[in-house]
């Protein structure tokens, strides 16, 4: 299954998502802020990244833009999972190259389907 990097600062949300992903057979590494997330991204080279937009230090949007501008990380699928449901944030993330955009709260089925979609695209 997949090696997933989750960059999420909400403990309850992170625990819930990690439980669902591990039960589905995935390996999950959690980073609770943007600085740790960037370091883990470079070391781990995950299959997809689950990225919150509202993070301490750097905004998740800044991480997304840095990823898409770097050859080492630009091909890693990014699934944004955020409470920001407005069209402006979604459009900004899409312009930066996000692969999927989910709005919290999310259901187990939504999470697993989004991860599966990105793994299928990457396998092609």
**pLDDT one-digit tens code per residue, 1-42:** 899 999 999 999 999 999 999 999 999 999 999 999 999 998
pTM score, two decimals?
Answer: 0.95
Residue located via tokens 């999950």: 28
Beta pairing partners, 94: none
pLDDT at 47: 96
Contact at 8 Å (CB) between 12 and 35?
no
Domain extent at residue 63: 3-123
Distance CA 12, CA 30 (A): 12
CATH of the domain at 82: 3.40.50.2300
Across the range 55-59, mean pLDDT stands at: 89
Sheet holding 27-31, edge to edge: 27-31, 3-7, 49-51, 78-82, 100-103
- Residue 20 phi, psi dihedral angles, 5° rounding: -60, -40
40-67 mean pLDDT = 92
């Amino acid at each position: 299954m997949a090696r997933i990097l989750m960059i999420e600062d909400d403990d309850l949300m992170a625990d819930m998502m990690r439980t669902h992903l591990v039960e589905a057979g995935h390996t999950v590494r959690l980073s609770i802020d943007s600085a740790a997330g960037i370091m883990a991204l470079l070391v781990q080279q995950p299959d997809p990244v689950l990225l919150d937009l509202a993070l301490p230090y750097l905004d998740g949007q800044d991480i997304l833009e840095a990823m898409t501008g770097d050859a080492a990380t630009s091909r890693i699928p990014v699934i944004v999972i955020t409470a920001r449901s407005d069209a402006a944030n979604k459009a900004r993330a899409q312009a930066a190259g996000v692969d999927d955009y989910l709005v919290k709260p999310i259901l187990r089925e939504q999470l697993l389907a989004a991860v599966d979609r990105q793994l299928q695209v990457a396998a092609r």
